[in-house]
Amino acid sequence: MDSTKKSSITESWRRFSRENELVYLFLRNRVAQLAAFIAIVSVGAAALANFIAPTNPYDIASIDIMDSLIPPAWSAEGESRFIIGTDDQGRDLFSAILYGTRLSLTVGLLSIGFASILGVTVGLMAGYFGGRFDAIVMRIADVQLSLPAILTALLIDGIARGILPQDKHDSLMIVVLTVAIGLSLWVNFARTVRASTFVERNKEYVQACQIMGMHPLRIMLVHILPNIMGPILVILTVDLAVAVLLEATLSFLGVGVPPNQPSLGTLIRIGTEYLFSGEWWIVIFPSGMLITMIISINILGDFLRDALNPRLR
Amino acid sequence: MLNFILRRLLQSVFVMLAVSLIAFSLFRFVGDPVAQMVGQETSIEDQENLRERLGLNDPLITQYGRFVGNLVQGEFGFSYRTRQPVSEMILNRMPATLELGLVSLLISLLVGIPAGIYTAIKRGGVLSNVLLISTLIGISVPTFVIGIFLIYLFGVELGWLPTFGRGQTVQIGWWQTSFLTWDGLKSLLLPAITLGIYQLTLTMRLVRAEMQDVLKTDFIKFATARGINYRSLYFNHAFRNTLVPVITIIGLQLGGIIAFSIVTESVFQWPGMGLLFLDSIRYVDIPVMSVYLVLIALMFVVINLFVDMLYFAIDPRVRLKSAHG
Amino acid sequence: MDTLLNISQLSVKFPTRFGEFTALDNIDLSVAAGEIHGLVGESGAGKSTVGAAIMGLLQSPGYIASGDINFMGEQLGSLSAEQYHAIRGQRISMIFQDPQTSLNPLLRVSEQLIETIRQHSDVSHAQARDRAISLLEETGIRDVEQRMDEYPHQFSGGMRQRVVIALALCSDPELIIADEPTTALDVSVQKQILALIRALCTTRNIGIILITHDIGVINEITDRVTVLRSGRVIESGPTAQVLGNPSDEYTKALMAAVPRLDKRLDRFRNIVSDDILTKENTSWVVEGASSKLASDWLLQDHQFDTQEPDDNRQSILSVTDLAVTFYSGQPGWFKRDPGFKAISDINFTMRSGQVLGVVGESGSGKSTLAKAVVGLVDPSHGEMIFKSAVLPPGSRRARTHPARRQIQMVFQDPYSSLNNRQKVEDIIAEPIRFYKMASDNKKIRQLVASVLELVEMPQSAMLKYPHQFSGGQRQRIAVARALVARPEFLICDEPTSALDVSIQAQILNLLKDLQQTFGLSILFISHNLAVIRQISDSVLVLRNGALVESAQTEQFFSAPKHEYSQMLLRETPSLAMLQKQL
C-alpha cells in the first residue's frame, strides 16, 4: 500500500474512513446518507425560515382572509403566489410550514438539551456512586416512568394553565412546552447513562484512576463520559424524534403552542377540520413535512444504534 | 417468593404515595379550590366557612392524610366543571378506554411478537426488510396522523367503517361494552388499529433485537451443534429466553397505550377517560386531573407487580435467588 | 486404526472491509476413532475455525474457499443444509468452552438431555429419561435421579461441564469437537474433566478433536497434535514426538515460552518475535527521548540497594488479620445482611524489593486482597502497614496520600485497563501530570516516549489509540503507565492470563527486568503456579478466602506443606513428563 506524496491525503482519508467504524458504515449506507441530507435540509430551511419564506405567517397584518383556502398553485383555482395553497385564515402554507418546522425543531432541540443535561448528570452520578443516591433517583425514575411522556407533558401543561394567567401562559407556552417535554424524557437518558456508567465504572481503567486518587468528578467527566458517548448519541437522536412527535401531538391536541404561532401539529389540527370538505392540502403538506423529518431522524437513530452497538451486527 | 412480592408491594405503595402527593399538591396549590367551587358572588365569610368545613386550614400533613384516605375509599370529590362526582364521571368513561386499550394491546402483541421473531430469524429476507421498513414508518408517523388517514380512507372514501364514537353499546351492570354488537365492534376497529400500530412497532423491534441477541449465545450455538430441530431451537430455546425483557417492556407499554389513548380518543371522539382528561386540562378541572393521574399510576403499578410475578414463572434463577433471601 | 475424519487442503476465508482474510490456509488433518487429536496454537491461529468448519457452523460471512472435509466417506461440503443439520449432534458433536453459558438457563438439565436424545432416536420419553440418567452417571454426576431435574445454575462449573459432555454424547456420536473444554475451569476440576474425556474416548471408541491454547493440556491427554499458526499447519504428528522433539522453529519457541512448573528460568529465551512490533514504524522519535532517560528519571529519587541480602531489607508491606466482607447490593432495611467473607485472617509481611506470588483458584480472594491494598475495597477488619505507616482503608485514604502514588497496579485485562478514548500519550502522561512530577509539556512528551522505549515499544506508539494495539502491546502500555508514577510497590493482578504464552513470556521478562532495575516490590497474583514459580521470591496460597500456606518459592515447589498446595501442584498440567524424554 505505498502511496506517493500527492495522494497521501486521500490515502490517509481513505484509511481513516476505513478504520473509523462510524464513518466507514455511513459512507456505505445510502439510506442513512439520504436521511442525513433530509435532516440537514430541514434544519437549514427551518433556521433560515425568515429569509426563505415568501411571507411571515405570524404577521397578522400581512394576512388577508380573502386568500383563505386557496388550493396549491398547480390546481385549477390555485394562485402562483401560494405554491402549496393557503390555510383557513389565508396564511401561505409554505411559509407556515417553514415557520412551523422552525418552532417544532426549536422546541424539540431545547427540550432534548434540557432532558439530556438533567438525565446525563443524574445518570452519571447514580451509576458511579450507586448506593442510596442511586436507589432514590431510580425510584423517582420509576414513578416518572409510571406516567408516560405524553401524560407528564399534558399534566405539566395543565399545571401551568392553573398557575399562570391566560395572557402570560400564551407567551410562556414555548418554555412550558420545553420543560414539559424535557421532564418527560430525562428518564431515558438517566437510565441509559446510569447503566453504561455502571459498566464502565467496573472497568479496570476507571479503577486505575481511583487508585491514583483522582477526583470522582474528573473520572466521570474526563474518563467515563467520552466512553459512553455512543449510547448517549443514540438516545439523543431517537429522543429528538420523540420530542418533535410529542410537540406535534400536544399542538394537535390543542394544548401546545399558541394558535397565532402555528407549529406543524397545529396546522394538521386545522387541516383535519377541512379534510372532509375537500381541502386536502392543509393537512397533507404539514403531515408530509413532519413525517419526513421524523423518519429521517429515526433512520439516523437506527443507523447510529447499529453502528455503535457491534453486538447487533 | 413471598418476601420478594412483599418487597415489590412495599415499593408500589411508595410509588403510589409519591403520585398521590403530586396529585394532592395539584389539588391544593394549583389555583384556589374554594374559589373554584363557589361563584364570584359568595362572600368572603362564606368562603372562609367553606374553607374551614373542607379542612383547608388544617396542617398540610393532616390534609394530605385525609386526601389519601378519601382516595383509598374511592371518594374522589367533585368536578369543578360539571359539579358531578369525579368517581361517577370516571366510572362512566372507564369501560370505553379499557376496551380500546385491551384490543389494541392484543393487536400489538399478536402481530408484533410473531413479526419480531420472523425478522430476527430471516435476516435479510425480502419480507423481513419490508417489515423492518414498515416499523420505521410505524414509529415515525404520529398516532393522530395515522388516525386521520384511516378515517379518511375507510370512513370517508370507502365508507366502510364509522369514524367517530363507540356506535351501539350494550350495558352490563355499570359497564358499557362495544364487544357485543356488530356496530360497536366496527366502531372499535379503527381506533384500536390506530392506537395499536405504534405499540406493535415497538414490540416487534424489541422482540427482534432480543431474539438476535439470544441467537448469538453459546447455548443456542451448542443446541444447534447438537442438531436440535430449528422449530424447537427458535421457540423453546431462543424465544423463551427473550421473555423476561419482552414482558418488562410490554408492562411499560401498557402505560403507553393508556397515554396514547388520549390522542386516539381525541381523533375518534371516543368517549373514554382520555377525552375526559383532555377536557379537564383545557378547563383546569383539577379534581378530575388528579384522580386520573392517580388511577393511571395505580394501573401501572398493578401491571408491574403482575409482570414481576411473571418472572417467577419464567426464570428459575429468579425463583432460586429469592428463596435464598 | 480407521480414519474418521480426513481434512485435506482446507481453506477458509472471511471477506472483510480490509480485504479477504484467510483464516485457514490449506489445512490437512486426520482423526482416527479412539484417538484424541490436539489442535494447539495461539490466538488468531484459526484453531476454532477448524471446529466450526467441520460442524458447518462457520460464522457468516466466512466460507470454505477450497478443500475437502471427508467424514467417514462422506464429503461434508456437498451436503445440503438439512442433511448437515441431521449429522450435527447425531454423528458429530461439540463441547464448548464455557459451561456457564453453554446450557440453556431456563430449561431443566433433564429437559435438555431428553430433548436431544429424542431428536436423534425414536424413543419414548421414559426411555429417553433412562438414557439421560445413564449418560449423566457415565460422566460422573452423583445423585443423578435427584439432580437431573435441577436447572443449570444449580450446578457448579465442573458439574456443568459434565452435563455439557453428557449432552454431546446423547446420540452416540463418532466424532466430538472439544473447543477449549477446560479453559474456564480451575486446575483441580480441569484434571478430572480431562480424565473423563480420555475415558470416554477409549471406552466408546470416539474420535476427539481437542482445541486448546494450553500445551500442558495437549501433553496431558492427546495422542496426536497439530500445531497451527496464522491459519497454517506448522507441524503435526504424535504428541510425544512433536512436543519432545519439535522440528519447526515456531514450535521450539512456543515450547520455550511455556513456563515450567519444575524449574525456574532467569529469562525466557528463544521467543517468537512479535510481528506487529517489528512492523511498527520505529523511525518516528521524540527529540532527546531514550530508554536511558526514562530509567534515569525513574531512578532519580530512589535509593534502593539491590545488593543487600534479602533478610536485611526492611518490610514494605505487612498485613495483619486482614478481612474483607461484601454485602449484597441492596441496602437491607429489615434484616442484617450477614455478608460474604471474601477474605479473612490474612497475615503476611513483604520485604522491600521482593516479588510475592499470590496463588489460588477462582473465588480464593486473591484479587480482593489486591483491591484492599490499593484501596478499591475497604477491609472489614485488620491492619495494613505500608512503609512503616498504617495504610488507611480506601474510603478514608486521602486523595493526596503518598501511597496513592507509591502503589501502582497492572491489571488482568489489557482491553479494559486502558481508556479507549485517550491517546497512548495522554494515558501515560496522566500520572506525570496528576502527581505533578513534571509540568513542562516538552519534558512530559519526552518522558512518555522514553518510557515507551523502556517497555520495548516504538516511540510512535504514543500517537495512537489503545485499540490499535494487540493484547501484549496494551499490557506494555499499562506497565508503562504504572511505571511513570515512580512506584515502589507494584501490584500485578493476573497480568498475563489474558495473553498468549509467547506474549506472556515477553511480559514476564519485561517485569523481571524492571523489577531488577528499579528494585520494585511486586505483589504478583496468578492462578498459574508455573508463572508464579518463574517470577516470585515467596508464595502465598489462598483458598476460599483463607491463607493456606506461605513459603519461600523454591522451598514451596520442592516440598509443599499443605495438602491443598500439594493437590494444586499435582493437578496442574505440566511438561514434566516430557522433560524426562528430552
| Rg of chain C over all Cα atoms, to the nearest angstrom | 26
Superfamily of domain C277-328+340-395+406-578: P-loop containing nucleotide triphosphate hydrolases (3.40.50.300)
Cβ neighbours around C357 below 10 Å, total: 26
* Euclidean distance between the first and the last CA atom of chain B, given in angstroms as a whole number: 9
C301 falls in which pLDDT band (50, 70, 90)?
low
Mean pLDDT for the stretch of residues B9-28: 84
DSSP assignment of C54-99 equals HHT-PPTT-EEEEEEEEETTEEGGG--HHHHHHHBTTTEEEE-S-T
Mean pLDDT for the stretch of residues A36-63: 82
pLDDT of res. A55: 78
Residues of chain A with pLDDT > 90: what percent?
30
Q: What is the ipTM of this complex?
A: 0.84
Least confident of A96-105, A190-199, B262-271, C311-320: C311-320
Least confident of A80-89, A200-209, B315-324, C479-488: B315-324
- The residue ranking higher by pLDDT, B123 or A68, is B123
Half-sphere exposure of B206 (CA within 13 A, CB side): 24
Task: Judge whether B150 and B136 are in contact, CB under 8 Å.
Answer: no
- The residue ranking higher by pLDDT, C73 or A277, is C73
DSSP state of B173: T
Task: Judge whether C523 and C316 are in contact, CB under 8 Å.
Answer: no
DSSP assignment of B247-310 equals HHHHHHHHHHHHHHHHHHHHHHT--SHHHHHHHHHHTT-HHHHHHHHHHHHHHHHHHHHHHHHH
Question: What residues in C contact A132, CB-CB < 8 Å?
Answer: 331
Mean pLDDT for the stretch of residues B125-143: 88
Q: Which residue has the cell 510425544?
A: C240
Residues of chain C with pLDDT > 90: what percent?
46
Mean pLDDT for the stretch of residues C76-102: 87
Cβ neighbours around C76 below 10 Å, total: 20
pLDDT of res. C303: 54
Asked whether this chain's domains C3-91+174-256 and C277-328+340-395+406-578 adopt the same fold, the reply is: yes
Amino acid identity of residue C76, one-letter, is L
C421 falls in which pLDDT band (50, 70, 90)?
confident
The Cα–Cα gap between B84 and B287 comes to 11
The Cα–Cα gap between B282 and B80 comes to 12
* Strands (DSSP E) found in C465-537: 489-493, 521-526
Residues of chain B with pLDDT > 90: what percent?
14
What is the span of the domain harbouring residue B134? Answer: 94-150+192-284
Average pLDDT, chain C: 87
Reported as a single tens digit per residue, the pLDDT across B42-91 is 777 887 887 777 777 778 888 888 888 888 887 778 887 788 888 888 88
Most confident of A278-287, B12-21, C285-294, C381-390: C381-390
Mean pLDDT for the stretch of residues B137-146: 88
Mean pLDDT for the stretch of residues C125-140: 91
**Minimum distance, in Å, between the CA of residue A299 and any CA atom of chain C:** 23
Q: Does residue B293 fall inside a structural domain? A: no
Q: Does residue B21 fall inside a structural domain? A: no
pLDDT of res. C10: 93
Tell whether B316 is within 8 A of chain C (Cβ): yes
> What are C394's three cell numbers?
480506601
pLDDT of res. C188: 82
pLDDT of res. C332: 46
* Strands (DSSP E) found in B150-270: 170-172, 175-177
Domains of chain A: residue spans and CATH = 39-312 (1.10.3720.10)
DSSP assignment of A219-257 equals IIIIIIHHHTHHHHHHHHHHHHHHHHHHHHHHHHTT-SS
Beta-carbon contacts of residue C546 (< 8 Å; ≥ 6 apart): C343, C344, C345, C346, C365
Question: What residues in B contact A147, CB-CB < 8 Å?
Answer: 19, 255, 293, 296-297, 300
Whether B296 and A241 lie within 8 Å, measured CB to CB: no
Beta-carbon contacts of residue B315 (< 8 Å; ≥ 6 apart): B244, C105, C106
DSSP assignment of C332-345 equals PSSS----EEEEEE
A94 falls in which pLDDT band (50, 70, 90)?
confident
pLDDT of res. C370: 93
Reported as a single tens digit per residue, the pLDDT across C141-165 is 888 888 899 999 888 888 999 999 9
Beta-carbon contacts of residue B83 (< 8 Å; ≥ 6 apart): none
Q: Is C552 helix (H, G, I), strand (E, B) or coil?
A: strand
C312 falls in which pLDDT band (50, 70, 90)?
low
Mutate to test the interface with C, among B6, B218, B237, B240 (most CBs of C within 10 A): B218
The Cα–Cα gap between A156 and A148 comes to 12
Task: Judge whether C289 and C461 are in contact, CB under 8 Å.
Answer: no
CATH code for the domain defined by C3-91+174-256: 3.40.50.300
Task: Provide the chain A residues 213-252 that lie in CB contact (below 8 A) with chain C.
Answer: 213-215, 223, 226-227
pLDDT of res. C329: 53
Reported as a single tens digit per residue, the pLDDT across C327-358 is 765 544 445 567 788 899 999 999 988 999 99
A302 falls in which pLDDT band (50, 70, 90)?
confident
DSSP state of B232: I
- Report the sign of the C-alpha dihedral through residues C271, C274, C279, C285, in that order: negative
pLDDT of res. B325: 35
Reported as a single tens digit per residue, the pLDDT across A107-146 is 999 999 999 999 999 999 999 998 888 888 887 887 777 6
> In chain C, what are the domain boundaries?
3-91+174-256, 101-170, 277-328+340-395+406-578
Question: What residues in A contact C411, CB-CB < 8 Å?
Answer: 204, 207-208
What H or E segment, with its residue span, contains residue C566? Answer: helix C563-571
Please check the confidence at residue C581 and state whether its pLDDT lies above 50: no
**Minimum distance, in Å, between the CA of residue A222 and any CA atom of chain B:** 31
In 3D space, the residue among B206, B256, B246, B22 whose CA is nearest the CA of residue A145 turns out to be B256
The Cα–Cα gap between A296 and A304 comes to 12
Q: Does residue B321 fall inside a structural domain? A: no
In 3D space, the residue among C32, C39, C69, C34 whose CA is nearest the CA of residue C54 turns out to be C69
Amino acid identity of residue A286, one-letter, is P
Query: Count of domains in chain B?
Result: 1
Chain C residue with the nearest C-alpha to that of B312: C106
Q: Does residue B102 fall inside a structural domain? A: yes
Nearest to B263 among A155, A249, A290 (CB): A249
- The residue ranking higher by pLDDT, C480 or A130, is C480
Question: What residues in C contact A131, CB-CB < 8 Å?
Answer: 331
Please check the confidence at residue C282 and state whether its pLDDT lies above 70: no
Task: Kindly give the pairing relationship between strand C63-71 and strand C74-75.
Answer: antiparallel
Whether C89 and B237 lie within 8 Å, measured CB to CB: no
* Strands (DSSP E) found in chain A: none
The Cα–Cα gap between A80 and A237 comes to 38
Mean pLDDT for the stretch of residues B20-41: 76
Instruction: Identify the CATH number of the domain in which residue B268 sits.
Output: 1.10.3720.10
Please check the confidence at residue C89 and state whether its pLDDT lies above 90: no
Residues of chain C with pLDDT > 70: what percent?
92
- Report the sign of the C-alpha dihedral through residues A78, A79, A84, A86, in that order: negative
B182 φ/ψ angles, rounded to the nearest 5 degrees: -60, -45
Amino acid identity of residue A139, one-letter, is R
**Minimum distance, in Å, between the CA of residue B173 and any CA atom of chain A:** 30
Please check the confidence at residue A38 and state whether its pLDDT lies above 50: yes
Least confident of B263-277, C327-341, C564-578: C327-341
Reported as a single tens digit per residue, the pLDDT across C360-405 is 988 889 999 999 999 999 999 999 999 888 999 988 898 889 999 9
C148 φ/ψ angles, rounded to the nearest 5 degrees: -65, -20
**Total-model pTM:** 0.84
Question: What residues in B contact C170, CB-CB < 8 Å?
Answer: 226
Chain B residue with the nearest C-alpha to that of C153: B317
Whether A213 and C399 lie within 8 Å, measured CB to CB: yes
> What are C475's three cell numbers?
499490557
Task: Judge whether C417 and C408 are in contact, CB under 8 Å.
Answer: no
pLDDT of res. A162: 75
Average pLDDT, chain B: 84
Mutate to test the interface with B, among C92, C103, C104, C160 (most CBs of B within 10 A): C104
Half-sphere exposure of A308 (CA within 13 A, CB side): 16
The Cα–Cα gap between C497 and C481 comes to 19
Output the CA–CA distances (angstroms, integers) from residue B151 to A251, B111, B138, B258, in the order listed. Answer: 20, 22, 17, 21
Most confident of A168-182, A270-284, B261-275: B261-275
The Cα–Cα gap between C224 and C238 comes to 4
C281 falls in which pLDDT band (50, 70, 90)?
low
Tell whether C79 is within 8 A of chain B (Cβ): no
pLDDT of res. C179: 92
Please check the confidence at residue B297 and state whether its pLDDT lies above 60: yes
Task: Kindly give the pairing relationship between strand C407-410 and strand C489-493.
Answer: parallel
C319 φ/ψ angles, rounded to the nearest 5 degrees: -125, 130
C578 falls in which pLDDT band (50, 70, 90)?
low
Please check the confidence at residue A85 and state whether its pLDDT lies above 80: no
